Structure formats: C-alpha cells, structure tokens
Amino acid sequence: MSGTGDIFGLFPAGTTRDADGTLVVGGCRLDDLAREYGTPVMVVAEGALRDRARAYREKLAARWPASQVVFASKAFACTAVQRLMVSEGLWIDVAGGGEIVTALAAGADPATLVLHGNAKTTEEIELAVRSGVGTVVVDNVDDIDRLEATVPPGRVQGCLVRVIPGVQASTHAAHATGHEGVKFGLSPAVARRAAARIEASPRLRMDGLHTHVGSQILVADELAAAVAPLAALGRYPVYDLGGGLGARYTYTDHPPSLDDYLDALIGAARAHLPGDARILIEPGRSMVADNAVTVYTVTTIKPSATPAAPTFVAVDGGMGDNMEVALVGQRFEATIADRVGGGEPVTVVGRHCESGDVLSTDVPLRDPKVGDLLVVPVTGAYCFTMSNNYNGARRIPVVFADGGRARLVVRREEWSDLLVRDVAG
C-alpha cells in the first residue's frame, strides 16, 4: 500500500523532492511555503492546473470541434482559479449567486456563464438576468416562472433543460445525480413539457438539453450512457453532457484517462446526437483535485493505548478545511513532507471537536513527530469550497506555486474576520 512511488503518483504533475528529501510542488519547497504562509495552507500547482485546462479544451475540440469546456467552479470556487480557467478559454459553471459574483470578479464574460441549481431563488435569478448570464439551466418549472417574470421586454434568455437520464452511477450516494428519485433535473416526460413551454415564451430561448450522471465516477461508460436519453428527446442546437469524471485520491482508485473518457463520451455523441450540434462538458473534480495539496503541522501524537487501538497523529486543521471525509467517507493519503512514503500505519486526525474529524485512517507515516509538516495530496476539489469556521477555525490560505515562485491568492482569515458579520447591540 505504501511507498514513495505510490504517494508520488497522487501529487501534482512535476512534484519532486529536494536534495534533503523535502517535497517540492510547483518548484517551491513545501517547508518554505509553510514558513511564509503558515499552516494549514493549500498549495496549488498552477502550471499543472493550467496544463489540465488546456488538455481538456484541446482534446475535446479535436474530437468534436463545435464544443466548449465549462469549468464546474463549485469544485474550487476560488476567484483565482476561475480567472485561470477564463484565461485558458473555458466557460464557467456557476451553482449560485456567490459563484456568479466571483466569476465576474475573475473577468468572465457573463455570456459564458452557465447557471445551475435545483432551488434557485428569485434573488439569484434576478442577479443572473441583471448580470447577463448567458445560459440558465432549467431544473424545474418554477425556474421558468421566475425567468419569465424577470427577463425584461426585448431581452431573450438562453436556457437548457436538465434531464434525468436514468443512469445509476457506481459512486457514493451523495454524488449520484442521474437516476430516478434525485432532486436534480426533470424526468423525460416533464422535460418535454418544459421545453415546449420555453419554446413558446417570447422571453426565453430553448437552446438545448443538459444532463449530469454524478461525481467521482470511475467508469467512462456510465458517463457516456447519459447521451442516448438526451437524443431521444429531440434535435437541439446544444447538448450539455455534464461532468463527473473521477479523480485518483488513493492507490486503489483508477479513473479513466482524459482520452478514454472523451473517447467514450464523444463516441456516444457521434452515435446519437446531430453532427451540427454544439457539445458542452462540465469538468470539476477531475480538473482540480490532484493539482493541489494541503500542508499541516503535526500538533500532537497520541500513542496506541492497546494493541487494537490506533496511534493518533493530530494536525492543526481537519474538517474545517476538508469536509470530504466526514461527508462522504472519501479516503485521502498523507506523508511527512521530508520523509516521503513508507512507515507504520497511523490515524491522522484533525483539531475539531468531533470524533468524525479524521483525515485518514491506517495511513503509513515515517516516524512522525510533533512539529513535522504533514502533506495531504488531492485536496483541490471541494475542500476550499466547503471550508468553514467550525470551533472558530479560520479558513486557510491558498497559494499558487509555479516555476519556483509562489503567490498568495486567498489570505488566511484573521481572528477579527470571525466578527465582521456581528451586529452591535
């Protein structure tokens, strides 16, 4: 299970070790970054992330020229990440009003934003229309009511109708969104009626259909299986095939390569969709997950009390900066920054007042000590997005590293930030 080669395979492309064995991400030693920015700190390999965005765009276009990659920014809704995606020619998928605000601050053309949400508020619809958001994904008939009441005379709002494709994905139940009974999208019969209503509206434009099977999906055929149900609903100018490609979090994960995923998806598109249609895809997790790491400081070590009990290695972060373990049981690996790979199994836990605040169980660490830097790879997806202030924790900084240079893109919260929303009296 353990081993330097294995753990290296989970780090961003280009990760190396310095002469003394210390991990180097984006050309920057992680101990140097920890000294400068403190811990916990999230480090993004900017060049590797940019390469991933380009690979998505170029490989999709090579298979289907009339296509567009739309970054599912909920995976890492950081303005700097959105700005990078915009600079690489990607559109931005926004899942609420706050992501509209950050995407616009990142320089995105509002016409290239795709708004999602199963329960959009009137305020969010109004913000989207006022901002000029190009596409609204209609997830229910109430979306149509709100849009028709909001879009001013003389304006036309582009819409896609989200369809439940009837695909049961082999992923965590919280990540599966393509089967009957989920809260997202419309059954094919209801979707037909919604499309007809949009087509009849003078203020809405029926651009096409949308679907999404789920997230952290490791079987390409499950993603491709959503294409035929869309085609059965008719011919449209646009088909948004969603995202969902999984990331490699641990040694036993083997997601399809980008090429294999696109071959399966576009193969299904060629078999079922009109050749002149535009295809959109919405990668999120697979774009960002393995291009970031989180660096912690070991604060205490609690040796095993009995042969059956684990040794606990506690760090200065946890479920405040990584909710994936507590929410969906996602496994993460870890290593000591200057003693990479190998060692005896321990349980890495966080500082929060919950027994569920566990970052990784049975993870091998080499002779961990208080003060060591512990590094968790594959934290680029959903960790920043779902960070929180539980137990008064301050949300952690984000640092971009590239070519040996680092820059702070999100600062660490100050203690005073925890009071900024309080109202006197």
Sequence-ordered strand ranges (E) for 242-340? 278-281, 292-302, 312-315, 335-336
Identify whether the C-beta of residue 254 lies closer than 8 Å to the C-beta of residue 51: no
Q: Report the b/e string of 161-200 with b at 16+ CB within 10 A.
A: bbbbbbbebebeeebbbbeeeeebbbebeebeebbebbee
Q: Which two tokens stand for residue 96?
A: 């609420």
Phi, psi for residue 186 in degrees, rounded to 5: -125, 145
Q: Which two tokens stand for residue 218?
A: 């490791």
Q: CB count, 10 Å around CB of 18?
A: 13
Q: Partners of 345 in the beta sheet?
A: 364
Q: SS in 3 state form for 276-290?
A: CCEEEECCCHHHHHH
Identify whether the C-beta of residue 256 lies closer than 8 Å to the C-beta of residue 265: no
| 353 annotated active-site | yes
Of 28, 78, 159, 353, the catalytic one is 353
Q: What positions carry a catalytic annotation? A: 353
